[in-house]
Amino acid sequence: MLKIILLLSPVYVTLFWCIVLNTQGDNYSAPKSFLGKFMFFCFIVYLSHFLYFMKLEEAYSCIDPLYQFASLLVYPMYYIYFRLLTVDRKFSFKKHFVYLLPSTILFVLYSIAVFFTPQEEYKAFLFGKEHHSLNHLSYIEIVSFLIRIVFLIQVILTVIGNFRLIRKYGHKAAQYYSDIEDSSISKVRLLNYTLIITAISSFILGMLGRGFFSSEITYLAIASVVFSSMLFAIGWLGNKQKSLNPAYETDSITETKQKSEELSLIRQEELLNKIEYLFNDRKIYLNSSLTILDVARLTGTNRTYVSSLINHHFHQNFSAFVNSYRLKELEEKILFNPEYPHQILAETCGFGSIDSMKRAINLRYKLSLQEFKSEVLLKKVV
């Protein structure tokens, strides 16, 4: 019974996130939807493991080619997911098929090998039994070896590629979102670190072989806990993660400065006055979901000009600029209403959540919430 629970644990986790991420309703986003597809193929992988370790040979023999295909797809799909967070607006089969092509080619080659291998020889190959040395069996062994090599290459390229995307486009989030949590790249970094742990575990499992885990329940338990927890973390983080570059900008900082210089001095002054009016008089920063697009619409210009003006004149990115106003509002609320609970303070000052408020305080003042409150109240006494 324990063995069944351990084997089904990652199956249930991947199925759960597959359903959640593909049924977003009004909260639909292309990255989340694609991560749901990634979870579906992970589900196929771990369902196959269940059939194998439960010694359901007939069922596993039928699903094995699909298992090989799914295992080869998951890492390229994870890279595409990161591209959807950073540079690509939506998944396009025409555009992204190049990342899936090696997996597809190897799947076709493996399927051909399976088709031409006698059933008994094929089962002997799958389950480590003695078999005759036949040419077609040698062919399937060669393809299996290629699959392992390509899998390892995919893991390395995915991890490196994801870090490059984060490094290149991570700062874009702070130029778009006002919420500290949304503008942070900590969750997306965790997504990649979680992938690294999963990849290393997969590689170790492949090196040790399935037989190693079949003989000892303790090793199977460790593998189950690692994969289940890592996959749950990927689903949970991915469900909360917004696009790092929602406007899908590819322009550099230099280009942004040039666009700022394209505005006449009079037009720049007009826009700055509008921005200051919106923040000082209308207090639009109290909207916790405020984005730079909202400010662009209200000022009658585009987000690139708004972003470059804020960067140029206030020497801050959009997120830091908005949260500087929220922190001033927070100081006033604490001075006049020191008894307010933290949740009320966060909501009435535009932070949206206590965590966002704490992060904003720490980023600007390097203080905890309690230390910040104490300093504000000390000013009142003085």
Q: Does the residue 245 lie in any domain?
A: no
Q: What is the span of the domain harbouring residue 195?
A: 2-240
State the total domains in the chain: 2
Contacts for 96-105: CB closer than 8 Å, 24+ residues apart: 100/73, 100/76, 102/72, 102/76, 102/150, 102/154, 103/69, 103/72, 103/73, 103/76, 103/150, 103/154, 104/69
CA-CA distance, 69 to 56, in Å (whole number)? 20
Size (the chain), residues: 382
Q: Are residues 262 and 222 in the same domain?
A: no
Which residue has better confidence, 288 or 204?
A: 288
Q: Are residues 128 and 224 in the same domain?
A: yes
Helix runs in the chain, H state only = 2-22, 30-53, 57-86, 93-116, 119-126, 135-169, 180-183, 186-208, 210-214, 217-240, 253-262, 265-280, 292-299, 303-314, 318-336, 342-348, 354-365, 369-381
Q: Are residues 290 and 209 in the same domain?
A: no
Beta-carbon count within 10 A of 351 CB: 30
Q: Are residues 273 and 224 in the same domain?
A: no
Residues in CB range of 300: below 8 A, 6 or more apart: 274
pLDDT at res. 258: 45
Tokens of 3: 């063995």
Question: Which residue among 212, 240, 268 closes a domain?
Answer: 240
pLDDT at res. 254: 42
Q: Are residues 235 and 258 in the same domain?
A: no
Q: Does the residue 247 lie in any domain?
A: no
Q: Are residues 20 and 74 in the same domain?
A: yes
- Buried/exposed code over 175-198 (b: 16+ C-beta within 10 A; e: otherwise): bbbbbbbbbbbebbeebbebbeeb
Mean pLDDT on 201-210 = 72
Question: Which residue among 208, 240, 272 closes a domain?
Answer: 240
* Alpha-carbon distances, residue 136 vs 109, 139, 146 (angstroms): 12, 5, 15
Taking the CA atoms of the chain, what radius of gyration do you get in angstroms?
26
End-to-end CA separation in angstroms for the chain: 68
Q: Are residues 258 and 236 in the same domain?
A: no
Q: Are residues 61 and 184 in the same domain?
A: yes
* CATH code, domain carrying 216: 1.20.1070.10
pLDDT at res. 255: 44
Q: Are residues 157 and 24 in the same domain?
A: yes
Rounded to the nearest integer, the mean pLDDT of the chain is 86
Mean pLDDT on 329-346 = 91
Q: Are residues 261 and 288 in the same domain?
A: yes
For residue range 111-156, what is the model confidence (pLDDT) as tens digits? Answer: 998 888 888 888 888 887 665 555 556 788 889 889 989 998 999 9
pLDDT band at 263 (very low <50, low <70, confident <90, very high): low
Question: Which residue among 240, 269, 295 closes a domain?
Answer: 240
Q: Does the residue 249 lie in any domain?
A: no
For residue range 301-321, what is the model confidence (pLDDT) as tens digits? Answer: 888 888 888 988 888 999 999
* Alpha-carbon distances, residue 137 vs 19, 115, 208 (angstroms): 39, 11, 22
**What backbone torsions phi and psi does residue 159 show, to the nearest 5 degrees?**
-60, -50
pLDDT at res. 34: 95
Which residue has better confidence, 292 or 137?
A: 292
SS3 assignment, position 177 = strand
CA-CA distance, 12 to 151, in Å (whole number)? 24
Query: In DSSP terms, which residues pair with 177 in a beta bridge?
Result: 291
* CATH code, domain carrying 356: 1.10.10.60
